[in-house]
Amino acid sequence: MGRIRACVYCQEDPAFTIEELEQFCKDNSKLAGFKRPRSYKFLEVLRRNASGVIQNFC
């Protein structure tokens, strides 16, 4: 099985850190530990296909 990765696109608060994301996921009781992302990737733009639909991979 693949690893869980979170691709993060923040247009309002670009100063968001990985530590804040990890703490948010740990504090959220609805998110099980094995479902938490193991890595994060910050995106500056969301990639779209020719039809304008956002691509679902990082």
At residue 2, the pLDDT reads 66
Mean pLDDT by 10 residues, the chain (58 residues): 75 78 88 87 86 82
pTM of full prediction above 0.85: no
Give the bridge partners for 7, in sequence order.
41
Residue 28: which domain range? 1-58
Question: Considering its fold, how many domains does the chain have in total?
Answer: 1
At residue 13, the pLDDT reads 66
At residue 45, the pLDDT reads 84
- Tell me, rounded to whole angstroms, the distance of Cα 10 from its chain centroid: 10
CA–CA separation, 22 and 52 (whole Å):
31
